[in-house]
Amino acid sequence: MRFHELKNSDIDKIIKIYKESPTRLEAQELIAKEMNTSLRTVRRWAKKLRIIEAPEAEQLILDAEKRELKGHRYIFTWAQSETPIHQDFFQNIKKYADHIDAEIGVIAGRYRNPDNIYARPEEGMWWADEVLNYLTLNRHNVHKYLSILADVEVIPTASTPMTGFEGFESEVSVIIGHPRVQMKVVPTLEGYRKKEIFTTGACTIPNYIKKKTGKKAEFHHTLGFVVVETDGEEFYMRHVTAQDDGSFIDLNTSVDGDITEGNFIDLYACGDKHFGEEDENMEMTSRYMISKLKPKYVRLDDIFNGHSVNPHEGNDPVKRFERHKDGELILDNELTLLCSNLSWYAVQDFKVVIPRCNHDIFLDRYVASQDWRKDIPNALSYMKCASLLLEGKAPKGLIPYFINLWYPDMIVLSDNESFRISGWEQSVHGHIGANGSRGSVIQFKRLSTKMITAHTHSPSRYDGVVTVGTNTLLRVGYNRGPSSWMHCDAIVHRNGKSQQLIYHNYKCTTLL
């Protein structure tokens, strides 16, 4: 209905509702419902009637800057100005928010795109009607250790949106509105809570300038959101990313128009194990989560710690003496410990995948460089291992050989071997990069495949590269000073999407 078609009784009703409603937005919603029109049309009428004094775009921003959030669970996503939302995805977000009793916060993103086919010059800046009830440009301190930086804008074409926020808000973790899905951990000293930085993903469709920067941003544009759960002194965060049709899976809950609870996990990837220095509580927590989520595959990284043959401790007599007192310098003892710790995984219903890892190589390097006469307690073990290598019985390495000797059904990978689960490469531990160089997450994200990596003990996510943390004790002697080590596992859903499970005090969610 056009403004000139309004009757005097309609105008009186509009003015009356505005005067009697607690907020302008509630008035607009009520008028839109009663007169079967859109919120945008109602705001145009209000401007013509001089009920709204500020221009529409300015008023939207003013309202968003005052938005408040209260609750114990939240869903945060990002919406681009002058861009339609993904309708099915946003409807699924609202259904899931109702299901888990979460508040929705849509961080308002502003981006001037000269190629924007959705622009309406006569209206100025606008956001989709569906998100107006949730739009925010305010800073929300939803927990004493977590701040939502909805008042800080990052250009959506930025390839590294987290850069510069490491010291922001001191030791408080932060969430930034951005269409890329990334996260990292900032190192902190002992006694401080680890500082996490998350970006959100978007609920609007891709809409970028038709140049290189725009096309790159379009490729990395991800339908997604961050789930935040507060739990007393703790809080938990994780990304949820959607398929093109707007459906998504969070933990063991699928949202595709309907909400379904079930077992949707193809892979559970554990943080580095380092049996002998594992955190026993974290090990039991991982096993509980595996039993709860029932994955088809479980991935184990750095299961052999190698303290009996560690080349980095060879010239440290004090450390060697400590190992000697604890009986940790006997190779056979460490191999027995490894075999024992793998026994639980060997009898479950899932398949075990083990990539080639840098700590595995300690044993091969020991045999290649050590003089057995200088390590008499391990002389016999040394001879057996040397024979295996010389006879060509361990083409993938000694630790892979022993694993398949004890547990033939476990899938053990070599450095150059590809093994994908639901589109995610599993053969890259993280220590070796391209052409034999030293591996890094930044290097891996430039490659042409999605992958799960480990090795750093510090969780991160850069677009299609998801890195788990560790299952070890968070201080093991050599990570001195500020540390970004965290207990973190990852899962891959059957829809080809991945999530990190970041644990605080052996808990990663209030929903399981």
Q: Taking the chain, what is the end-to-end CA distance rounded to the nearest angstrom?
A: 49
The answer to whether the Cα torsion of 476, 478, 481, 485 is positive or negative is negative
DSSP 439: P
For 110-172, list the strands marked E by DSSP. Answer: 135-136, 139-143, 146-149
**Model confidence at 245: pLDDT above 80:** yes
Instruction: Render pLDDT for 367-389 as a digit per residue (tens, 0 to 9).
Output: 999 999 989 999 999 999 999 99
Task: Check residue 324 and give its pLDDT.
Answer: 60
Task: Check residue 111 and give its pLDDT.
Answer: 93
Task: Check residue 255 and give its pLDDT.
Answer: 98
Instruction: Render pLDDT for 408-438 as a digit per residue (tens, 0 to 9).
Output: 999 999 989 999 999 999 999 999 999 989 9
Task: Check residue 62 and give its pLDDT.
Answer: 81
Helices (H) and strands (E) in the chain, counts: 13, 24
CA distances to 70, 95, 353, 511 from 230, in Å: 11, 20, 34, 11
Instruction: Render pLDDT for 287-325 as a digit per residue (tens, 0 to 9).
Output: 999 999 999 999 999 999 998 998 766 666 666 667 666
Domain 267-502, CATH? 3.60.21.10
Distance of CA 350 to the CA centre of its chain: 23
Smallest CA-to-CA distance from 338 within 348, 328, 349 is with 328
**Model confidence at 47: pLDDT above 90:** no
Which residue ranges make up each domain of the chain?
3-53, 62-262, 267-502
Instruction: Render pLDDT for 64-80 as a digit per residue (tens, 0 to 9).
Output: 888 999 999 999 999 99
Task: Check residue 52 and give its pLDDT.
Answer: 57
H helical segments located in 49-103 = 56-65, 87-100
Q: Is 321 exposed, middle or buried (0-12, 13-18, 19+ CB in 10 A)?
A: exposed
**Model confidence at 16: pLDDT above 90:** no
Helices 358-369, 398-406: axis angle to 10 degrees equals 110
CA distances to 89, 339, 366, 443, 503 from 309, in Å: 52, 17, 6, 30, 31
Instruction: Render pLDDT for 441-497 as a digit per residue (tens, 0 to 9).
Output: 889 998 989 999 999 999 999 999 999 999 999 998 788 899 999 999 999 999 999
Task: Check residue 220 and give its pLDDT.
Answer: 97
Confidence class for position 61, pLDDT limits 50, 70, 90: confident
Instruction: Return d(Cα 150, Cα 274) in angstroms, integer.
Output: 40
Please state the rounded mean pLDDT for residues 247-263. 97
Instruction: Render pLDDT for 257-280 as a digit per residue (tens, 0 to 9).
Output: 999 999 999 999 999 999 999 999
Could you give the angle at the alpha carbon of 262 between the alpha carbons of 457 and 204, nearest 5°?
A: 70
Please state the rounded mean pLDDT for residues 138-155. 96
Confidence class for position 329, pLDDT limits 50, 70, 90: confident
* CATH architecture of residue range(s) 62-262: 4-Layer Sandwich (3.60)
Put simply, whether the predicted model's pTM sits higher than 0.85 gets the answer yes
Instruction: Return d(Cα 276, Cα 359) in angstroms, integer.
Output: 13
Task: Check residue 56 and give its pLDDT.
Answer: 65
Task: Check residue 55 and give its pLDDT.
Answer: 54
Instruction: Return d(Cα 452, Cα 301) in angstroms, integer.
Output: 11
Alpha-carbon Rg for the chain in angstroms: 27
**Model confidence at 124: pLDDT above 60:** yes
| Residue whose entry in the numeric block shows the structure tokens 């977590």 | 146
Average pLDDT, the chain: 92
Task: Check residue 315 and give its pLDDT.
Answer: 66
Task: Check residue 22 and give its pLDDT.
Answer: 78
Question: Is the fold of 62-262 the same as that of 267-502?
Answer: yes
| Residue whose entry in the numeric block shows the structure tokens 């010389």 | 390
**Model confidence at 24: pLDDT above 80:** no
**Model confidence at 44: pLDDT above 70:** yes
